[in-house]
Structure 1
Amino acid sequence: MEFKGVINEAFPRPEDLISFTVSHVQKGFKISVRKLPISKSGPIDEMSERLSIPVPEMIFGDNMVAIEHLATGWRMEFNAYDALDRVDKTDKNMLKVAYSQEWSSSREKTHEGIKEVVKPFDWSYTTDYKGTITKGKSFELQKDNADPIPIELLKRPDPILFFEEVVLYESELDDNGISLFSCKLRVMPDRMLLLCRLFMRLDNVLIRVRDTRIYVDFTLGKIIRDYTEKEDTFDAVKKNLLQTGTIPTDLTIALRDPNKVAHLIPEVTHTLESLTVS
């Protein structure tokens, strides 16, 4: 196939992003997803300058997931820039590896052309990002977790009308593990669930899972946000895997799969919020 056009031209152009967005409308709610290739060097450098930190090796800067209530205009989205903007930009929460000094030095040289990016930050790209409300009212914290996500309703064999999985960023932490932020959603006739997950594994040190679940009841116009932080040592998670029947030869694969370890990691933080649009 012959390539026609300017090689250095930005792709996609900002004005073209809407054409790469797929949407599904269900009972007054519009759910939109955009999935594009890894960002190119120009947008990467621009994002690093704006954030004042180097971005992960695999950054999907144009990807996003959004939920909009058409009648009121209320809108919430998840995107890579806002997720990374919640990464600690100091050395307060910086994790250490066996050769941390060499690792830090190498990371500072990742974007040598950006002179501003020299200060330490959380190299694990751990974020407490829970989404961005771009229009409309904010969530209200629920006292005593009185109205949780109705799991039993989600277990019903309802038809799935729309399903997508979107990666916002990924880093292999200089071959010391992985930090992955992704979103997965499914839309049923009367409700939907969006799970945005940070999975961070620093080999021989620590494993973290941070989950944001957005549940929408289309009929009631009720939206629940459930946020959980889980964390444990690498060795403790390995031990738990073995105790639950994982054979030693499968440990490496299991430790790379957040679905196999998330339920084995103790919860350290949990908040429940909700709002109603009408």
Structure 2
Amino acid sequence: MDEGRTFKQHGFTITTRKLPILKAGPIEEMTSKLGIAPPEMIFGDNVARIEYPDKNWSIEFNAFDALDRVDKKGTELKVAYSKEWHQSRQNHSDDIKEVVKPFDWSYSTDYKGTVSGAPAFEPTETSIPLELLKRPDPILFFDELILYEDELADNGITMLSCKVRIMPARLLLLCRFFMRLDDVLFRIRDTRVFVEFGTCEVTREYLAREEKYEAVKHKLMMQGETGPEAMRDPNRLANLLPIVDGSLEKLVLK
């Protein structure tokens, strides 16, 4: 298997791997292990990983572990939103049968990465220093990849993706879950991993945002954003969705 791209900086090794969509055999195996059918497009061999070999520590983002965090009974989404979605699709009963499955058919995940080795993350009040990330530092390495995607039977989109940006003194990894269920709900869940190379400090921030579809549509109209492209762009939408959950953690690898 292709090992992907690797970049080393200050004792850290960063790896990204982008391979084609899984074929039938691996999909069947994944379905058996997960206990739910995977999304339409599953990039099960893709990975984004940050390693610190001196401490035998790593954090990795992959599709299987993310999907393993999906609600396999679907209770939360069905109770809160299926009735509303049914009403919005009352003339499309075939679509409803296709989408409403006995698990969270939006594939929403609160995945924060797969961590191996010690030390463990601990709660902190020190935020990721955004001012440092806004500086025009050289970008030594950049990559982005998709872990999975599904069009929710043509009634929206759900996607989990990763971006990695490495500068001379620090790096930022963003793993973003984005879901738009037409006429019902927007959901964004971001996990950011920030590494300061000089101090070997690793900060992990998780923010979950959520807002009803009509409320977001109204906010976009108030900003003069009326085109459909705005409804598909999580970068434009993120600040329009209120935060509903979050955590901030840190560890030091020295």
TM-score tier, shorter chain, comes to: over 0.9
Q: CA deviation at 1:104?
A: 5.9
Distance in 2, matches of 1:200 and 1:24, equals 31
* 2:245 aligned residue (260, 263, 269): 269
* 2:233 aligned residue (239, 257, 260): 257
Q: CA deviation at 1:141?
A: 1.4
Q: TM-score, normalised by structure 2?
A: 0.92
Structure 2 letter corresponding to 1:44: I
Q: TM-score, normalised by structure 1?
A: 0.85
Distance in 2, matches of 1:121 and 1:60, equals 20
Distance in 1, matches of 2:72 and 2:171, equals 34
Question: Structure 2 matches for 1:135-214, cutoff 5 A?
Answer: 135-142=117-124, 146-214=125-193
- Where do 5+ consecutive residues of structure 2 fail to align? none
The alignment-based identity, stated in percent, is 51
Instruction: Report if the CA contact (8 A) 1:20-1:35 is conserved.
Output: no
Q: SS of 1:255's equivalent?
A: helix
1:243 and 2:222 aligned: yes
Instruction: Report if the CA contact (8 A) 1:227-1:272 is conserved.
Output: yes
Aligned residues: 245
1:33 and 2:16 aligned: yes
Q: CA deviation at 1:102?
A: 4.4
* 1:127 aligned residue (105, 109, 113): 109
Cα RMSD for the two superposed structures: 1.5
Instruction: Report if the CA contact (8 A) 1:23-1:31 is conserved.
Output: yes
Distance in 2, matches of 1:150 and 1:188, equals 14
Structure 1 letter corresponding to 2:104: D
Q: SS of 2:54's equivalent?
A: coil
1:223 and 2:202 aligned: yes
* 1:52 aligned residue (27, 32, 35): 35
Bigger Rg, which one: 1
